[in-house]
Amino acid sequence: MARSAGHPEAAPCPISPVVDIVFSRWTTPILWTLNEFGTQRFVELERRLADITPKVLTQRLRQLERDGLVGRVYHAEVPPRVEYEISELGRSLAPVFSTLTVWAQEHLDQVADARGDYDVAGKPKP
């Protein structure tokens, strides 16, 4: 286990690039909502996400579109209609989200307990 070394070299975490793509602020709820409720217009996403501002929703949708996780569907009607949908690449995240949901169900209580204990004990000893 403890491969201890007094002067270790930098060891880049291989998960961090995914974290920036999938778990930056608001991207997870947007992907989850598109996966759960299907193709949606901007205003529908805005209502389901509740606390998001239109500016941030626009930015996040562009980022997700650029990363290939969300598709933008343009309907050439009068007036034109735009919808957003999760892409096949976005859908490939389903096992990731599902593993996370299972972890949350099984362990969030323990996190809450740990916080309670820590806050009662005050600072870590000594």
Question: What is the binding site for a copy of itself (CB under 8 A)?
Answer: 1-19, 21-23, 28-29, 32-33, 36-40, 44, 47-50, 62, 65-69, 72, 74, 89, 92-93, 95-97, 99-101, 103-104, 106-108, 110-111, 113-115, 117-119, 124-126
Based on CB atoms, which residue is closest to a copy of itself, 56 or 111? 111
* Residue 6, helix vs strand vs coil: coil
* Shortest separation between residue 53's beta carbon and a copy of itself, angstroms: 14
Based on CB atoms, which residue is closest to a copy of itself, 4 or 79? 4
DSSP secondary structure of 32-97: HHHHHH-SEEHHHHHHHH-S--HHHHHHHHHHHHHTTSEEEEEE--SS-EEEEEE-HHHHTTHHHH
* Shortest separation between residue 82's beta carbon and a copy of itself, angstroms: 9
Report DSSP state, residue 24: S
Q: How far apart are CA 62 and CA 41, in angstroms?
A: 14
Based on CB atoms, which residue is closest to a copy of itself, 7 or 55? 7
